[in-house]
Amino acid sequence: MLAGAGGNGSQVRKGPMKPASSTTKSQFPKLTKRLSSLQVRSFVLAGALIFTVFFLLQSFNVGAREIEHTTRQSLQVINNFAPAAWRGQPPKVTKVTALFGQENELYEAAIKSHEEHNRLHGYELKVLRERIVNNFWSKPAYLLSLIVEELAKPEDERTGWIMWLGPDIILLNPHVPLEIFLPPDDYKHINFVGTHDTEGLNTGVFFLRVHEWSVRLLIEVLSMPKNDPSLEHAVDKDQMALEMVLTAPSWRQEVVYQPRTWFNAYQLDVDQFEGKRGDLLVHFHDLEGDKWSAMSNYLAQVSLRNSTWSVPVSLTTYENEIVEYWDRIRNAEALLDVAERHISDSRVEEAARRLGYAFHFEADIEKVMHEAMDGLKAALGIVEGEH
């Protein structure tokens, strides 16, 4: 680009211009009108680049400090003149996983299955390749280091969210943007988006906002082995520690749980997937039977140019289901606000407590949420259709 800009600059005549003829003068306004806004922006950017080259060339005659200062000034000129759409913006989500220890070709292939998704949406995938600490604590330690690193950047250069995913996950549908799972603008206080299964929290996939709250959360998780010796006997120590922290009253206000099949669907056995065509991914969590055979089959399918799993997001159920999910959250919150004014009634108090529990821990189960809301409506004497 710099060579091109310099080449154009060398063709500009430096001698005095000849007076324009009357014909040229009369045609000049018409020519100006024909210039598109894109051409104008191109001229401005070209001028900024020439300005940059000039000062960078001049800088070779001065010291290191002057070079740095001149470079910063030149880059600032480009940034100021370039339209916002031309400037590089950090991705809203950065994917993070870990794979170290004994080599595993299938896990490596599973990580590579994200490449098309990352290319389409501009996501970066960071992979931890070395163990940081013993046992299960490398995951939270690595996440903490990444979030601190992001927070050290200027705000407009940070990624917004970290998406943790295990290496036993294969990306199925590259057309699904991760941003659709993030909280809407009226829920900016939500900092953790996760999923449950019958055993409780599953940390195979979750979203964590780049925020001071997340730093404090991960520090709390890493301190759990000393605070709670019972973790020593847990199978998945880091998962249990995170669940214990998130369920505490001081943390759960910033947490939501979404339907697991949206972004953490399990392969239940070799032939049974709990999701459907168009879903984002498949997670081989505690798979019964031949896990490696099942992973091989999926990897062969998603590698095809016309994979049946690859579906435009507009043809999936995601958009409608996500709108309905957040509407339920808003309706439940509105009902709880109404209940606050009638909390002296024991029936209202009990129904509000039930909905409050569902709101914080079972928002991913549509039936449970509707039953809890209906129970509170009945206690409040609200007829269907009333707010």
Strands 200-209 and 161-165: antiparallel
* 202: β partners: 195
pLDDT of residue 270: 84
**Residue among 149, 133, 146, 152 nearest 222 (CA):** 133
Q: Which residue has the tokens 């996440």?
A: 143
SS (H, E, C) 295-347: HHHHHHHHCCCCCCCCCCHHHCCHHHHHHHHHHHHHHHHHHHHHHHCCCCCHH
Handedness of CA 71, 76, 82, 88 (dihedral sign): positive
Interior angle at CA 179, CA 115 and CA 309, nearest 5 = 50
CA distance linking residue 377 with residue 335, whole number of Å: 8
Q: Give the pairing of strands 161-165 and 192-197.
A: unpaired
Q: What integer pLDDT is reported at residue 288 of this predicted model?
A: 66
pLDDT at position 3: 39
Contacts of residues 145-150 at CB distance under 8 Å and 24 or more positions apart, as own/partner, are 146/94, 146/96, 147/208, 147/210, 147/211, 147/214, 147/215, 147/218, 148/215, 150/210
pLDDT of residue 28: 37
Beta bridge partners of 282: 170
- DSSP for 29-74, written as a single string: HHHHHH--HHHHHHHHHHHHHHHHHHHHHHGGGS-HHHHHHHHHHH
Work out the end-to-end distance of the chain between its first and last CA atoms, rounded to an integer number of angstroms: 60
Quote the CA–CA distance of 294 and 354 in Å, as a whole number.
40
Which pLDDT score, from 0 to 100, does residue 20 have? Answer: 41
For helices 318-340 and 346-361, angle between their N-to-C axes, nearest 10 degrees: 150
> What pLDDT tens digit does each residue of the chain (387 aa) get?
433 333 333 333 333 443 344 443 343 344 344 434 444 444 444 444 444 433 333 433 333 344 334 444 444 443 444 333 334 566 799 999 999 999 999 999 999 999 999 999 999 999 999 999 876 899 999 999 999 999 999 999 999 999 999 999 999 999 999 999 999 999 999 999 999 999 999 999 999 999 999 999 999 999 998 888 888 888 889 999 999 999 999 999 999 999 999 999 999 988 899 999 999 999 998 776 688 999 999 999 999 988 999 999 999 999 999 999 999 999 999 999 999 999 889 999 999 999 999 999 999 999 999 999 999 999 999 877 655
φ/ψ (deg, to 5) at 32: -60, -40
Question: Given this model, what pLDDT does residue 343 score?
Answer: 85
Q: What is the pLDDT of residue 117?
A: 97
Task: For residue 61, give both structure tokens.
Answer: 């005659």
- Supply the pLDDT for residue 226: 86
Q: With left for phi above 0 and alpha for psi between -120 and 50, is residue 132 left, alpha or beta? A: alpha
Q: Residue 56 is encoded by which pair of tokens?
A: 């960078």
**383: alpha, beta or left? (left if phi > 0; alpha if psi -120 to 50):** beta
The confidence score (pLDDT) of residue 386 equals 55
Fill in the DSSP letter of residue 287: -
Beta-carbon contacts of residue 120 (< 8 Å; ≥ 6 apart): 174, 175
Which pLDDT score is estimated for 89? 64
Identity of the amino acid at 357:
Y
Rounded Cα distance, 287 and 270, in Å: 8
Looking at residue 346, its pLDDT comes to: 93
User: What is the rounded distance in angstroms from the CA atom of residue 344 to the CA atom of residue 31?
Assistant: 77
Rounded distance between C-alpha atoms, residue 376 and residue 384, angstroms: 12
Non-local CB neighbours of 204 within 8 Å, separated by 6+ positions:
165, 166, 168, 169, 264, 283, 285
Decide: residue 383, CB within 10 A, 0-12 exposed, 13-18 middle, 19+ buried.
exposed
